[in-house]
């Protein structure tokens, strides 16, 4: 069975075509600048095809994708595609698991789209485009927030007027749940048990830390939106909201402009003044740049703070996992974080950490907590859920 995993953005559509018999990626790519001028890239068999194309809408992107799958001989017929799985950022507390799309699901998605106004409407455009292009193929939705629905109320509630929760749904929802679930399931296979305490560190341009006990999320660092938690590439993470009024007055900005600054001009970029890219920051750090050193240490400290918090919450930890772009590729960040965790008995093997490529155990045999690097695969999780839903439909 071949399944398409789709991640639609406001002006983009990313895809992976996966052969579920061996869970191998047949092809992947992205259609960009939808509604502007249009461009696409497709990779398969070790080759890359790209060119400009007129993409007025997501429907155009989907139709061109399906056309290219045929013309590039990636599939012989569209009948080979037996399911399409879609990433949806926010499922609120309406969805606690992946579902097959029907009219009722679309109505519910419409009712909660304002909880992620930059993401959910775009995700829905992707769903609608595929339902039109492949009307007889099941579509599913997989939610970034679903894995976190096992948090108890004491954890997800905010200490604000309770009416805000009752009237407006103001609470912690989290994000990156599909990635954290993938890490949880992968660690379960590695440890050969479902009974373990995990601290999963999804550290990319966006970053979140999640505490998992016996396969279920106990707490996570992102909140009502992905702006909360640790500092990130361009996001501030947790700050004192009382700093906003004086900055708004001084800069003559409204709340939307300030929130934009916290989302797009803060974090690693804002503090370093260099870049939001960890590779650029690391280069400056290695050259002794003062702000790069400050930023790198602050970044590691914020990650450490959440790991330590969740260590106490879980009553200890069996394993810490680093994943996503920075977690998988920056041995410097992993080293700084683990150095901060020495008091918990964490000890990593520098050679293993510095030369890690792909899945690896980087802690020593003396470490009281196992430390792993595991590449995440959200697209595969979407495809797995889609396959399971289709089988059980």
pLDDT at 116 > cutoff 80? no
Q: What is the pLDDT of residue 1?
A: 87
Determine contact, residues 324/309, Cβ cutoff 8 Å: no
- Please state the domain count of the chain: 2
Check whether residue 352 and residue 230 sit in a common domain: yes
User: Is residue 55 in a domain?
Assistant: yes
CB atoms within 10 A of CB 10: 14
322 shares a domain with 197:
yes
Q: Which two tokens stand for residue 367?
A: 């470490």
Residues 256 and 118 in one domain: no
Is the pLDDT reported for residue 318 higher than 90?
yes
Name the token pair of 325: 């772009």
Q: Which of these, 249, 239, 330, lies nearest to 283 by C-alpha position?
A: 330
pLDDT in tens, 154-212: 999 999 999 999 999 999 999 999 999 999 999 999 999 999 999 999 998 889 999 99
Residue 129 has pLDDT above 80, yes or no: yes
Q: What does the block give as tokens for 242?
A: 């009382």
Domain assignment present for residue 167? The answer is: no
User: 9: pLDDT confidence band, cut at 50, 70 and 90?
Assistant: confident
Instruction: State the pLDDT confidence band at 123, using cuts at 50, 70 and 90.
Output: confident
Q: Are 134 and 216 part of one and the same domain?
A: no
Which active-site residues does the annotation give? 144
CB 31 within 8 A of CB 40: yes
Does the residue 187 lie in any domain? no
Query: How far is residue 38's CA from residue 61's CA, in Å, rounded to a whole number?
Result: 9
Residue 384: how many other CB atoms lie within 10 Å: 22
Residues 238 and 335 reside in one and the same domain: yes
Reduced to 3 states (helix: H, G, I; strand: E, B; else coil), residue 42 is strand
**Nearest Cα to Cα of residue 199 among 191, 189, 190, 209:** 209
Radius of gyration over every alpha carbon of the chain, rounded to an integer in angstroms: 21
Residue-wise pLDDT for 235-253, tens only, equals 999 999 999 999 999 999 9
Last residue of one domain, picked from the residues 143, 167, 202 = 143
Is residue 119 predicted with pLDDT exceeding 90? no
Range of the domain at 95: 2-143
Kindly indicate the confidence band of residue 37, based on its pLDDT and cuts at 50, 70 and 90.
confident
C-alpha–C-alpha distance, residues 195 and 314, integer Å? 12
* Contact of 174 with 222, CB cutoff 8 Å: yes
Tokens of 387: 């396959």
3-state secondary structure 107-154: HHHHHHHHHCCCCHHHHHHHHHHHHHHCCCCCEEEEECCHHHHHCCHH
Q: Where are the extended beta strands (E) located within 158-262?
A: 197-203, 207-213, 216-220
**Domain end: 84, 110, 143, which one?**
143
User: Residue 149: pLDDT above 80?
Assistant: yes
Strands 39-44 and 360-361: unpaired
Range 328-349 average pLDDT? 96
What's the chain's average pLDDT? 93
Say yes or no to pLDDT of 255 above 90: yes
Report the percent of the chain where pLDDT is more than 70.
Answer: 99
229 and 102 co-located in one domain: no
Alpha-carbon distance of 154 to 88, in angstroms, equals 26
Contact 236, 270 (CB under 8 A): yes
Say which DSSP state 302 is in.
H
pTM over 0.85: yes
Helix (H) or strand (E) holding 373: strand 370-373
């Amino acid at each position: 069975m071949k399944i398409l995993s789709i991640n639609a953005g406001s002006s983009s559509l990313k895809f992976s075509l996966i052969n579920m018999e061996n869970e191998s990626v047949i092809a992947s790519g992205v259609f960009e600048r939808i509604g502007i001028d249009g461009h696409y890239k497709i990779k398969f068999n070790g080759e890359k095809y790209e060119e400009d194309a007129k993409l007025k809408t997501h429907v155009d992107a989907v139709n061109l994708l399906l056309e290219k799958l045929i013309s590039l001989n990636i599939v012989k017929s569209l009948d080979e595609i037996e399911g399409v799985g879609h990433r949806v950022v926010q499922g609120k507390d309406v969805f606690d698991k992946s579902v097959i799309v029907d009219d009722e699901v679309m109505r519910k998605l419409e009712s909660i789209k304002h909880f992620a106004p930059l993401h959910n409407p775009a995700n829905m455009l992707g769903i609608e485009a595929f339902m039109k292009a492949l009307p007889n193929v099941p579509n599913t939705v997989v939610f970034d927030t679903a894995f976190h629905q096992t948090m108890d109320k004491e954890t997800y509630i905010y200490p604000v007027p309770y009416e805000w929760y009752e009237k407006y749904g103001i609470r912690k929802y989290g994000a990156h749940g599909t990635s954290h679930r993938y890490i949880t399931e992968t660690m379960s296979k590695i440890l050969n048990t479902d009974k373990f305490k995990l601290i999963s560190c999804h550290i990319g341009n966006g970053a979140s830390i999640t505490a998992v006990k016996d396969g279920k999320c106990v707490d996570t660092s992102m909140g009502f939106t992905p702006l909360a938690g640790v500092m990130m590439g361009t996001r501030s993470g947790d700050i004192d909201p009382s700093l906003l009024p004086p900055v708004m007055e001084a800069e003559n900005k409204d709340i939307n402009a300030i929130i934009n600054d916290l989302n797009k001009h803060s974090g690693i970029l804002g503090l370093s003044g260099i870049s939001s890219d960890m590779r650029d920051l690391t280069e400056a750090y290695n050259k002794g740049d003062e702000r790069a050193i400050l930023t790198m240490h602050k970044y590691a400290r914020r990650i450490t703070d959440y790991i330590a918090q969740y260590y106490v919450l879980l009553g200890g930890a069996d394993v810490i996992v680093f994943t996503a772009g920075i977690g998988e590729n920056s041995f410097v960040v992993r080293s700084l974080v683990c150095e901060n965790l020495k008091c918990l008995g964490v000890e990593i093997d520098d050679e293993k950490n510095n030369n890690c490529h792909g899945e690896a155990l980087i802690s020593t045999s003396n470490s009281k907590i196992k430390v792993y690097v595991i590449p995440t695969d959200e697209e595969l999780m979407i495809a797995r859920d889609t396959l399971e839903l289709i089988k059980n439909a």
